Amino acid sequence: MSQSETARELEGSCLCGTIRYTASGLGPIGHCHCATCRKAHSAAFSSVARVARANFRWTQGEDALSSYESSPGKRRFFCSRCGSQLTAGWEHEDEIILRLGCLDTDPQSQAVAHVWTSEKAPWYDITDDLPCLPKGRPRKIAPEDS
């Protein structure tokens, strides 16, 4: 079963455990190196995957959610108590961006690409063999393309 076809339910939570969620239908995983992800996560990159809004549900602590509009129309949602980044997205899109560092369940899939490497931290070297995309989001990589 491919990553985009993964329908099993995943669970996640923030660092302090106040906010919990479930998600299914995880899309391809990517390591995002854009400047806003790096700053929001205080890291060289953020591991992310898209999920249909219809397949995502807050199960606890939704009242503790805060958000920040990091670029026009894009909101990043995080726990107001511990600061864990949980999701992001544009209201008009049918998908959200799930921050995989807060998953409690193993997604049983691996990253398919590094994205937004045009904004990569100069102090970090990518040393794996994943494709590096200067912009964009991860797509399913066909076996003949890898």
- As a whole number, mean pLDDT of residues 1-27 equals 84
Tell me whether residue 68 is in a domain: yes
**Residue 75 structural domain:** 3-123
Sequence-distant (6+) residues with CB within 8 A of 41 are: 85, 99, 101
pLDDT digit string (tens) for 91-143?
899 999 999 999 999 999 999 999 999 999 999 999 999 999 998 776 654 44
Tell me whether residue 28 is in a domain: yes
pLDDT band of 146, cuts 50, 70, 90: very low
Please give the model's pTM, rounded to 2 decimal places. 0.85
Tell me whether residue 136 is in a domain: no
Tell me whether residue 128 is in a domain: no
Tell me whether residue 93 is in a domain: yes
How many domains, the chain? 1
pLDDT(28) > 70: yes
Tell me whether residue 133 is in a domain: no
pLDDT digit string (tens) for 51-75?
999 999 999 999 999 999 988 999 9
Rounded Cα distance between 52 and 93, Å, is 9
Q: Looking at residue 73, which CATH number applies to its domain?
A: 2.170.150.70
pLDDT(30) > 50: yes
User: What pLDDT does 139 receive?
Assistant: 60
Residues 27 and 49: beta-carbon distance below 8 Å: yes
Exposure on the CB side of residue 91, measured as CA atoms within 13 A:
7
Rounded Cα distance between 5 and 69, Å, is 30
Class of residue 91 by CB neighbours under 10 A (exposed 0-12, middle 13-18, buried 19+): exposed
